Amino acid sequence: MQILLGPAGTPGKNTLDGLSATKKLGLQAMEVQFTHGIAMGLELAKKIGEENKKYEVALSIHAPYFINLASEDKKKIEASKKRIIDSCERGHLMSSNNIVKIVFHAGYYGKRSKEETYEMIKDAIEEMQKIIKERKWRVSLAPETSGKHSAFGTLDEIINIAKEAKCSLCTDIAHLYAKGMGRIDYDDIIKKLKKAREKNYHFHFSNIKYSEKGELSHLVLDHNPDFSVFAESILRSKIGCTIISESPITWKDSLKMKGILEKREYKF
């Protein structure tokens, strides 16, 4: 059982500098943010991979927000797949010491049924999986649980698509908490996740403000959901996992999470 903690985004001046900064903080992971677009060139991605051989920070990538694999516009679906594949290519170049998980929000139901949306997204993921396999990239696609009821990504949908499309997944605890209107059962979530049989489960965690439509905004770790309750469930289950902080103060809250786990005698 190994727990890795780290921020969404760099705690340094830039992504390259973030490797040493993450290590100095005593954290083990960092999620590179392409959320508002991919500005990183291939040479820089390769340089990050080379540099990370010294630091061995577990890297993941959050692909751009502008993705909808169930769009009614075929051009938007193709553009969405390209954004994910471009993220994968950079992830492979960064993959010095680990398989890089490529996290993304898969799409929206729109006017389609949940079943039709599921099949469209699964087909798109399977198509991208073939490209990844052909190019022998050291990455794993990780569709994420959604925070809004209009968006594809219930826990069951994500687990099922991971099993059927043979990809990974990302469980965003704040999103599940928001969609549950403050009700959440961590033991049940982990029990379900074990069906995906991952060696290292990928989580996002922050506190969150929500409405009946779902998430509104991420909050610092002074609100809800309570990380200590989640931590206890992780320790009971003995699963290996990476927990990425999506708080407004990501690395500071990662250190808070570390302190909470250390109080429960987990040794990093």
Quick: pLDDT tens for 34-88: 999 999 999 999 999 999 999 999 999 999 999 999 999 999 999 999 999 999 9
Whole-number Å distance between alpha carbons of 76 and 79: 5
CA dist., res. 165 & res. 184, Å (int) = 27
Retrieve residue 96's tokens: 């010095």
How many angstroms separate the CA atoms of 101 and 140, rounded? 5
pLDDT band at 255 (very low <50, low <70, confident <90, very high): very high
Q: What is the mean pLDDT of residues 16-35?
A: 97
CA distance 34 to 220: 22
pLDDT of residue 209: 95
CA distance 77 to 159: 22
Contacts 24+ apart (CB under 8 A), 157-162: 157/114, 157/118, 159/192, 159/193, 159/195, 159/196, 160/118, 161/106, 161/118, 161/121, 161/122, 161/125, 162/196
- The pLDDT value given to residue 197: 85
Each domain of the chain, given as residue ranges in start order, spans 3-263
Least confident window among 182-186, 210-214, 245-249: 210-214
Cβ neighbours of 149 (radius 10 Å): 13
Asked if 44 and 10 count as a contact pair (C-beta separation under 8 A), the reply is: no
Q: Residue 3 forms beta bridges with which residues?
A: 241
pLDDT at 113: 96
pTM summary value: 0.97
Give the amino acid at 135.
Answer: R
Q: Give residue 195's pLDDT.
A: 85
Q: What is the pLDDT of residues 198-227, one digit of tens each?
A: 989 999 999 999 999 999 999 999 999 999
Q: Select 3-263's CATH number: 3.20.20.150, 3.30.420.10, 3.40.50.620, 3.40.1010.10.
A: 3.20.20.150
Tell me the CA distances in angstroms from 158 to 25, 94, 140, one per residue in order. Answer: 32, 25, 14
